[in-house]
Amino acid sequence: MTTEPSTLRKVIGYLAMVLVLAVVLVPLAWILVASFKTQSDIYHVPATWFPNPITGDNYQTLFTQIPFLKYLRNSIIIAGTLTLIKVVLGVMSAYALVFSEVPRRLRNILFLVIVAALLVPNQITVISNYALVAQMGWRNTFVGIIVPLAGVAFGTFLMRNHFLSLPTEVIEAARMDNAGPLRTLFRVVLPMSWPTLVAFVLITLVNEWNEYLWPFLMSDQAATAPLPIGLTLLQNNDGQSNWGPVMAGTIVTMLPILIVFLILQRPMIKGLTSGAVKG
């Protein structure tokens, strides 16, 4: 009697997985196919799933019509710097909120302020931030793009909740061995926090790599603008969207993040399964 419900649940689970994969992979497959199509083939009705003819002109246009390598360099600088700043500040602030000797009530009040910052949409502060940054002369500079985006409310929230789940006995043992705050952080806390830390790094890197609105307002020069801004220059071609080079640019833009994910995938999985085996 228990076999049929169990089999039904498995079938439903597999169907749900197939549906999710289709929702994610079909648009990506279409982008990849369209990047090898001609302009007329992209607008052909009905749409076809195989390029006819196959062309690599879109990738050539990508590297000749815009200074793609400059935009790529700018994205690496901006996303890499912001990820480093947010991870360092997020870990440090979360560690202070959990393990510092500040009274618990004060720490809870500070944490509520941080949570309140998460509830404020970024779009509300865009005008005031733009006026301030422009007044300081930081427009079309990396500093003007990076500094206003360096807030760490999400990272502090994520890491603080994880630190609260760590066994207090280990932290107390480190303190009894006269380990200072930094030694306790780097030798005790962070080694037990790799899964959450890697997830934090990936989420931050992807968000900053795809950031569009603030860099669009802050930079209109190839010397400082990131990739999402550069790709918009490929869209219009005599009143018609030039989707071929845009799709090619989208594929090339995804590759660095995909490489980073493949590199960090193993330590993340290792950290997630490290407590599953005893002995």
Interval 125-140: pLDDT, tens: 888 889 999 899 899 9
Cα–Cα nearest to 129, from 209, 221, 213: 213
Show the domains of the chain with their CATH numbers. Answer: 66-233 (1.10.3720.10)
- What is the rounded distance in angstroms from the CA atom of residue 263 to the CA atom of residue 18? 26
Task: Tell if the pTM clears 0.85, that is, is over it.
Answer: no
pLDDT at 240: 60
Whether the CB-CB separation of 145 and 86 falls below 8 Å is answered with no
pLDDT at 19 over 70: yes
Q: How confident is the model at residue 274 (pLDDT cuts 50, 70, 90)?
A: very low
Res. 121: pLDDT tops 60: yes
The dihedral built from the CA positions of residue 106, 108, 109 and 115, taken in this order, carries a sign that is positive
Asked if pLDDT for residue 275 goes beyond 50, the answer is no
As a whole number, mean pLDDT of residues 221-239 equals: 80
> Is the pLDDT confidence value at 271 over 60?
no
Q: What is the mean pLDDT of residues 186-198?
A: 85
User: What's the sign of the alpha-carbon dihedral 99, 101, 103, 106?
Assistant: negative
20-77 pLDDT, tens digit per residue, is 888 888 888 888 898 898 888 887 778 778 888 888 888 988 888 889 889 999 999 9
